Every structure is written in structure tokens, then in C-alpha cells.
Amino acid sequence: MNISRRDLLKVASTSGLVAAGLAASDGLFGKSLLAQQQSTPAQTRSGEMLYRTLGRTGEKVSLIGLGGHHIGRIEDEQESIKLMRSAIDRGINFMDNCWDYHDGNSEIRMGKALQNGYRDKVFLMTKIDGRTKEAAAKQIDESLKRLQTDSIDLMQHHEVIRLEDPDRIFAAGGAMEAVVAAQKAGKIRYIGFTGHKDPLVHLRMLEIADQNNFRFDAVQMPLNAMDAHFRSFESEVLTRLVKDEIGVLGMKSMGDPYILKSNTIKPIECLHYVMNLPTSTVITGMETMEILEQAFEAVRTFEAMSQEQVSALLAKTREAALKGEYELYKTSNRFDGTAKNPEWLG
């Protein structure tokens, strides 16, 4: 089906969202749209962590989620397990992972870390790349085996970055058939999708889901103080998710880590910006105990930001952000694992 950018924006439009989003693309975006329209979600504190509800699921998830890709970057496996367990012991219960991270090694390490009672303490999410029913079913079972669990709390279609991805996923014999079958079999509890390329692809995924009478439980996307200025998921997708009570999972708060290389904003400011949006969880990579400590410091010091504070942060990043040069996941193929490994799609 042919859909123009105008049509897709019309699908996503609520209370003047489109006008503000188009202003953003013309360089007129001086304030955070969501800060104007949405308040920081209700949250509860327990110990060192804040918890929010994941959309309409009722699940309470930690405001900080532990990124699975970075776990595989740690040279020593035992150090990665120690870091994961330390995060869980201190209150992080949202675990992010993916079937393809480090050829499955991230899932294997997390599976080991979740032994000895740790599995019961976390909300476990992983992702699959398969676009066919056969490929998706195989990857689901491989993830279950690596993670050493009978059930995954949230399974997400990974790297929905091409306009044809939603069509493939929802087609007859497509990946959604395998995911729904796995849900009915008790292998997974909730279903979501992720992507990092363009908000239009997210909007198309939501539209195709609507056409198939399906509503996702969660959606993961880049949210940060540069996204607000360029091809913005915040301005084009976020309000739609909140309206539909779909859990919002923020990622790439620091651009992994190119936004920090712009020297316009500090790590805790990056985290605070995304925490201030109606996110359920802000997923961030942690490769050292120092970075884990930084995440807890961001939670400890977080307070709902005023519009003036949001505008000040956006003003700091605006000039550097306008061409997307620090959001390489949008403007290059550097983060497109399935483009480099098309066989993963099936």
C-alpha cells in the first residue's frame, strides 16, 4: 500500500501534534512538544529505583533498563554477570536483550546471570529479527534456550527500519504468526517492536497493526535531546503511544555515544531528558560499575523538569542536532545489523 509522509503524519496527529512536528523539521522547534502536552508519568520509589507502569500491561518496570548489547562488550564474562546482578540487587528489573547481540553471547551471559533466583526478580525482554514465521519461531526458541527460561516477558520485532518490514511481519506466513503462537503457548507474555531509523516506519507499523486488529504492548525507539530537532520520534510517535496506552521504551539517550561527542550535553542530562518524557523505561548501556553508578545517580537526582529547563536543554543541542550528524542510527547504516546480515530476516 502506498502511503505518503503527509498521510502518515495525519494518522499520528493528535491535538496539534503535526503542526508542531512540521515546525520542528523546519528548524522552528524551540520547546519539547511532549513537555507541553504530557506530564511525567506517575512513579513510585523503592530503595534506589523509581518504577513506572508499562503501558496498559500493569507491569511495574524500573525507570532505568539495562541494555543487553553492552553486556556482550565486556571482555570478562564473570564481570558482566557481576554487573547484571549488582544492577538487579539495587533495583533495576528491566532487562533488554536481542537474539543477534554478539552472535547470541549477550543472551547467553544474561541467562547465566539470571540463575539462582534472579530470573524471578526481573522483567525480561528480548528481540528477534526474523520476518518469516519459520525464522521467527526458530529465533524465539533459541532465545529461550540461551536465556535459560521457559517464558520471556516481552518479545519485540527488532529493527523495524524499512517501510516494508511491517508488511512482511504481518503477512500470511510472517513473523507475527510465530510470535502470537508463542504467546498462546506461554513462551512469551507481551509483544512489541523496535526501530531506530525513521518515525514514519514506526507509524506504518502501528497502522498495519491497526489494520490487522492488533495492538502492541510496548514500542522501543530513540528518544533524546537531539531527536527532538531531527526526524523526531518524540514529536511524531510518542503521543500516539501514550494515547493508545502502549508502553514507551526509550533508547539511545546518549546516541551510543555520539551525542556525548558533540560536547553539548552531559550524560545525566541526557538521561534526565528522556526520564522527563512519558517513558516507562529508559534503556541504557552499562559496561562498567562506574556507568551503572551514573545511572543510579541520574535516578537519585531526577525531578520533573519545568518547560524552561526542557527548553534550555534543547537550546544546547539544537545547532548540533539539525542535520542528524550525531544520530548516526538515523542517517547511516552503522547500526543496521539486519542490513549487514540479511539472512537473519529469513
Q: What is the pLDDT of residue 39?
A: 67
Q: Hunting for cell 500470511 — which residue is that?
A: 172
- Which grid cell sits at 250? 526509550
Residues in the chain with pLDDT < 50? 1-37
Distance of CA 36 to the CA centre of its chain: 22
Q: How big, in percent rounded to 5, are the helix, strand and coil portions of the chain?
A: 50, 15, 35
Q: What is the pLDDT of residue 41?
A: 83
Q: Within 13 Å of residue 154, how many CA atoms lie on the same side as its CB?
A: 28
Alpha-carbon distance of 145 to 147, in angstroms, equals 6
pLDDT tens-digit series, residues 125-167: 999 999 999 999 999 999 999 999 999 999 999 999 999 999 9
Pairing label, strands 49-53, 60-62: antiparallel
Q: Given its phi and psi angles, is residue 244 left (phi above 0), alpha (psi -120 to 50 degrees) or beta?
A: alpha
Q: What is the pLDDT of residue 38?
A: 59
Note the pTM of the prediction, 2 decimals: 0.90
Distance of CA 175 to the CA centre of its chain: 20
Spell out the residues 6+ positions from residue 199 whose beta carbon is closer than 8 angstroms to its own: 12, 221, 231, 232, 233, 235, 236, 237
Looking at the DSSP assignment, which residues form a beta bridge with residue 124?
Answer: 95
Looking at the DSSP assignment, which residues form a beta bridge with residue 125?
Answer: 154
Alpha-carbon distance of 175 to 92, in angstroms, equals 30
DSSP 185: T
C-beta separation of 42 from 52 below 8 A: yes
Q: Within 13 Å of residue 49, how many CA atoms lie on the same side as its CB?
A: 21
Cα torsion angle, 258, 259, 261, 266, sign:
negative
> Residue 35's closest CA among 268, 217, 225?
225
> Residue 269's closest CA among 329, 322, 316?
316
